[in-house]
C-alpha cells in the first residue's frame, strides 16, 4: 500500500482528520485521537504503516514477519508494517478500520455525537 492509497482509505472513514507531523508522517485521527500513521523512518523508500490493535491482534501480528511493535507506541498495542510485503492491502484496510473502531469507541458520548458517529 502506498502512502496515497493509505491516505485515500483513511479519508474514507467517518469523521477523520489528517495532519502531517513528526518528519512528514501522515497521521490520521478521529476525535483528535490517532488511529493510524504512515511514515518514512528508515533508510528505504517504502512507507511504514502503523495502527492501533486489540490485544489479541497485537499478540498475533508481532509474531509475523515484517511486523514489529510500533516504536514509542507498542505499550498501547500498536504495530508497524516495515515492508510492503508484510500484509495484503485488504488486510491492512481491515486492520485500519478496526483501529478506527477501537479509537472512536473510546471517545466520550458527547464527542461521538458531535462527530456524528
Residue 84: the pLDDT is: 86
Confirm if 52 and 40 have CB atoms less than 8 A apart. no
Domain 3-108 top-level CATH class: alpha beta
Residue 41: the pLDDT is: 62
Residue 42: the pLDDT is: 57
What is the C-alpha to C-alpha distance for residues 106 and 99, in angstroms, rounded to an integer?
A: 11
End-to-end CA distance of the chain: 27
Domain boundaries defined on the chain: 3-108
Residue 44: the pLDDT is: 63
**What's the pTM?**
0.92
* Low-confidence stretches of the chain (pLDDT beneath 50): none
Phi, psi of 68 (to 5 degrees): -125, 160
Residue 46: the pLDDT is: 79
Amino acid at each position: 500500500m502506498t502512502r496515497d492509497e493509505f491516505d485515500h482509505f483513511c479519508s474514507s472513514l467517518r469523521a477523520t482528520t489528517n495532519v502531517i507531523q513528526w518528519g512528514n508522517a501522515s497521521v490520521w485521527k478521529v476525535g483528535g485521537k490517532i488511529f493510524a500513521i504512515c511514515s518514512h523512518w528508515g533508510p528505504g523508500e517504502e512507507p511504514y504503516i502503523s495502527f492501533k490493535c486489540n490485544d489479541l491482534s497485537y499478540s498475533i501480528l508481532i509474531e509475523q514477519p515484517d511486523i514489529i511493535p510500533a516504536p514509542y507506541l507498542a505499550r498501547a498495542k500498536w504495530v508497524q508494517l516495515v515492508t510492503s510485503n508484510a500484509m495484503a492491502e485488504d488486510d491492512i484496510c481491515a486492520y485500519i478500520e478496526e483501529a478506527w473502531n477501537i479509537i472512536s469507541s473510546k471517545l466520550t458520548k458527547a464527542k461521538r455525537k458531535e462527530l456524528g458517529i
